[in-house]
Structure 1
Amino acid sequence: MPLHRRLIAAGLIATGAALFALQPLANAQDAAPKKSKVPAAEVVGEPVSCINLSQIRSTQVRDDRTIDFILSGGRVYRNQLPNQCGSLGFDRAFTYSTSLTQLCNVDIITVLQNVGGGLMPGASCGLGEFTPVKLVKKAK
């Protein structure tokens, strides 16, 4: 192998070794705890697969994985999506389509992104189970 190719190969190996050595530092930064924007909640019942559409009064998108569904009578069901849903926490708006009278954990939501003053469909993500919760009030 010519000398210049051996030098390039040695340089690539050294660069790869340096990046490999720095990987634990990058992982340590990623593992640093992030302050959650999701309000604390106390679970007050067993999770359910579906909630009735006619009972939903409003929704609160908490982050890229958490949506609180506020039902009639003030009941709150928290849906923890199985995976992060890109820009859901930023745009805080979504839509869904179902032929049933219920929204279920097998349904898909689509993020609504505000683009140029209009709404455009973004990421589509699956829902998780609906867990009845009572939001914990912060002490003042």
Structure 2
Amino acid sequence: MMRAILPLAALALMTSASALAAKTDRNAVPAATPDGPAIDCVQISAIRDTRVHGDKVIDFHMRGGKVYRNELPYQCSSLGFEERFSYQTSINRLCSVDVITVLRNPPLTQGPSCGLGKFQPVKLARKK
């Protein structure tokens, strides 16, 4: 009986290690090269989607294909784990002076709030 338990425990440990490795790889920051000067704001209506890379980098994919990388000035705890955030602004732009708030799940609650950096247009490296 003990011999059957050891392989199962080893399998469970390997499964959790590979799940952690997959989460870490997903948060890896893709290689990119700057594609022009950084800007202070982007139009909210032009944001197609966002991709969080760890606790400090968010890529904003815009309609039309342009990508803006925002490197937060400080680590934003749990942003890379949760990979989702909210923001509030009184104008139709998201700017480097704005603050994002990490959304935790379950249940959907607010986490830490963190300041944004400038929006650097980038060309993402092609995946091999």
TM-score under structure 1 normalisation? 0.71
> For 2:110, which of 97, 104, 121 is the aligned residue?
121
Q: Which runs of 5+ in 2 are unaligned?
A: 1-24
SS at match of 1:73: coil
Asked if 1:82 corresponds to 2:73, the answer is yes
Larger radius of gyration: 1
Q: Which runs of 4+ in 1 moved over 6 A?
A: none
- Paired residues for 1:58-77 under 5 Å: 58-77=49-68
Aligned residue number for residue 47 of structure 1: 38
**RMSD across aligned positions (CA):** 1.5
Residue 137 (structure 1) aligns with: 126
Q: 5+ unaligned residues in a row in structure 1: which ranges?
A: 1-34
Q: Given the two structures, how large is their TM-score scaled by the length of structure 2? A: 0.78
Give the percent of matched residue pairs that are identical in Structure 1 and Structure 2. Answer: 53
Tell me, in whole angstroms, the C-alpha distance in 1 between the residues paired with 2:97 and 2:91.
12
1:91 maps onto 2:88 in alignment: no
**C-alpha distance in 2 between matches for 1:120 and 1:105:** 24
In structure 1, C-alpha distance between the alignment counterparts of 2:118 and 2:53, rounded to whole Å: 16
In structure 2, distance between residues paired with 1:42 and 1:95: 27
Post-superposition CA distance 1:51-104 (Å, at most 9, x none) = 001100100001100000000101100000000000000000000000011000
Q: CA deviation at 1:105?
A: 0.2
